[in-house]
Amino acid sequence: MKILIENLTFDTIIGILEHERTNPQRVQIDCIIEYSYTNGDFINYAEVAHVIEHTMNFERFELIETALETIGALLKIHFSLIQTILLTIRKPDILPNCTVSVQKNFIF
């Protein structure tokens, strides 16, 4: 079974530049989760989205790479049924002519 969370968008403090540490900026997150759906055991996608957004806002990461690694690990802790996660974090407004992102495929 796959859960797709696409374009989860919110403002948060993220980045190493001085203005990024004081001014929230928009991030967009995509998450594809694979798990075995058996005996009615499921993963609540609303809870997944909440964990992602709460973690980003609470931690106020400097690097999107650190955010990616932390969120991947936390999702596995919170949702033990997860087998794989493809996670993408984008900062669409940091550069005027492109979107910057990082992506990782977690296999558990």
Q: Where does residue 43 rank: exposed (0-12), middle (13-18), buried (19+ CB within 10 A)?
A: middle
pLDDT at site 75: 98
* Domain ranges across the chain: 2-107
| pLDDT (tens digit per residue) in 56-79 | 999 999 999 999 999 999 999 999
What does the pLDDT average to over 26-55?
A: 97
pLDDT at site 32: 98
pLDDT at site 3: 98
The pair of structure tokens assigned to 69 is 């690694």
Q: Where does residue 39 rank: exposed (0-12), middle (13-18), buried (19+ CB within 10 A)?
A: exposed
Per-residue pLDDT band at 108 (split at 50, 70, 90): very high
What does the pLDDT average to over 102-107?
A: 98
What does the pLDDT average to over 29-51?
A: 96
What does the pLDDT average to over 42-50?
A: 97
- pTM comes to 0.95
Q: Are 25 and 11 in contact (CB under 8 A)?
A: yes
- From the candidate CATH numbers 3.40.50.20, 3.30.1130.10, 3.30.70.1230, 3.20.20.140, the one assigned to the domain spanning 2-107: 3.30.1130.10
Averaged confidence pLDDT in the chain: 97
**DSSP assignment, residue 81?**
T
